[in-house]
Amino acid sequence: MNILLTNDDSHASPLFRFAIDILKPLGQVTIVVPKEEQSWTGKSMSRFKPLIIDEIRLQDDTAYCLDGTPADCANVGVYHTCEQRPDLVVSGINIGLNTGLSFFFSSGTIGACLEANIAGIPAIALSQSLERGVFQNWTENRQMPEDTVARLREQTTELLDHVFEKLFAREDFFSQPVTWNVNLPYTPAPDWEIVPTVLGQTMYGSCFNKVGDQFRHGLGLTDPDSRENADGE
């Protein structure tokens, strides 16, 4: 199986390493990743600037680093970087959940998957729930506690083994160019199971706070969709 891997948090994300190591036993993995974090870019693509791609090393793996959006990475990967057309595009593992309609369409992680779907390729978007303090520490300081990383690595390997087994068992999985949006819990229940959901109608309010004569990103949250089986429940 030929797999194209990207994300929206750049190659600096500790969770991106999880994805590389989990996917490598499944097939030939080509990595095309944004040079810098591209959260909240949705499926935007670069139109008026030339894109530069560099070959980098991520430990023992070769990766391509593109100064564009996740959707740029998916398109360049599918048509220019992969030696063979990918059978699957995986995006993530995103730092933070991607649940609810408004976040689905805003997510650069999912944007890369939608670009893969346009190319006729199925895609999996992977996102990791984090405690607020862990998330804020990463956002503000680009640091994540080593014990948290170690625990998440172990549980993520177990969770995704089951997720991939379930998805790949579907007869239509590789023939249908759709996006599977997978959100991983911060602490799984002892009796955890894979639960199919519907995309919740969760919305956000203002995305910006006015500071002087500037507007800076500061998300106003609303209550999650409380319908049964909604993904933000």
∠ CA 18-191-148, nearest 5°, is 35
Residue 204: pLDDT band (50, 70, 90) is: confident
Torsion angle of the four alpha carbons 24, 26, 30, 34, in this order, in degrees rounded to the nearest 10:
-70
For the entire predicted model, the pTM comes to 0.95
- Average pLDDT for residues 99-123, to the nearest whole number? 96
pLDDT tens profile 134-183: 999 999 999 999 999 999 999 999 999 999 999 999 999 999 999 999 99
Quote the CA–CA distance of 62 and 158 in Å, as a whole number. Answer: 25
Q: Are 33 and 8 in contact (CB under 8 A)?
A: no
Helix (H) or strand (E) holding 185: none
pLDDT number for residue 205: 87
Tokens 């609303």 correspond to: 222
Mean pLDDT over the full length of the chain: 95
Q: Which CATH class, in words, describes the domain spanning 2-197?
A: alpha beta
Quote the CA–CA distance of 148 and 130 in Å, as a whole number. Answer: 10
Quote the CA–CA distance of 176 and 12 in Å, as a whole number. Answer: 32
Q: Are 88 and 4 in contact (CB under 8 A)?
A: yes
On the question of pLDDT at 62 being above 90, the answer is yes
pLDDT number for residue 74: 98
Query: Which residues fall within 8 angstroms of residue 32, CB to CB, at 6 or more apart?
Result: 4, 5, 6, 53, 63, 64, 66, 73, 74, 76, 77, 81
pLDDT tens profile 64-95: 999 999 999 999 999 999 999 999 999 999 99
pLDDT number for residue 224: 75
DSSP 191-209: T------B-----B--SEE
pLDDT number for residue 228: 77
Residue 3: pLDDT band (50, 70, 90) is: very high
Q: Are 225 and 100 in contact (CB under 8 A)?
A: yes
- Average pLDDT for residues 45-70, to the nearest whole number? 97
Helix (H) or strand (E) holding 163: helix 146-168
On the question of pLDDT at 220 being above 90, the answer is no
pLDDT number for residue 233: 57
Residue 203: pLDDT band (50, 70, 90) is: confident
